[in-house]
Amino acid sequence: MLRRILAVPAGLIAGIVCITMIEKIGHQMYPPPAGAGSNDMVAMKEYVAHAPFMALFFVIIAYAVAAFVSGFTASKVANNGKHTSAVVCGIIFLCITIYMMFSLPTPIWFWVLGIGVWGLVLMGSKLALKTK
């Protein structure tokens, strides 16, 4: 029972670490303007509206890796042979993603990929359930 309870936070933490690491790489390659801090939504909206394709695509890559790792981690920790913990992680991340896309002006391709990529939690979960 405790493993199933801890599986979701473990999956979320693993996903957040992946997103943070990959987005840091993206910010090194495509740095936001000096004034565009994470607390300044006006500057962030301006940056996202004019950001190069790869700057935004790094976010999608981060989401994809996070989805897979989150699903894998949650299913491994739960160790109950079900995808439930992975799906819960995916739903939580999906809600956060949709909130961020409403907050910042992202193109339609970002919406499609940003929502679709969270299905990768099931691939991570399937791999976790296959390996012992």
Q: Can you give the residue ranges of every domain in the chain?
A: 2-130
For the chain, give the mean pLDDT.
92
pLDDT digits (tens, 9 = 90+) for 106-122: 999 999 999 999 999 99
Left if phi > 0, otherwise alpha if psi is -120 to 50, otherwise beta: which for 74?
alpha
The lowest-confidence range among 12-16, 27-31, 37-41, 79-83 is: 37-41
CA angle 50, 35, 14 (to 5 degrees): 80
Predicted TM-score (pTM) of this structure: 0.91
Helix (H, G, I), strand (E, B) or coil at 18: helix
> How many angstroms separate the Cα of 31 from the Cα of each of 20, 92, 104?
15, 28, 17
In the numeric block, the tokens 């992680």 are attached to 89
Q: What is the mean pLDDT of residues 95-114?
A: 94
Q: What is the mean pLDDT of residues 28-33?
A: 86
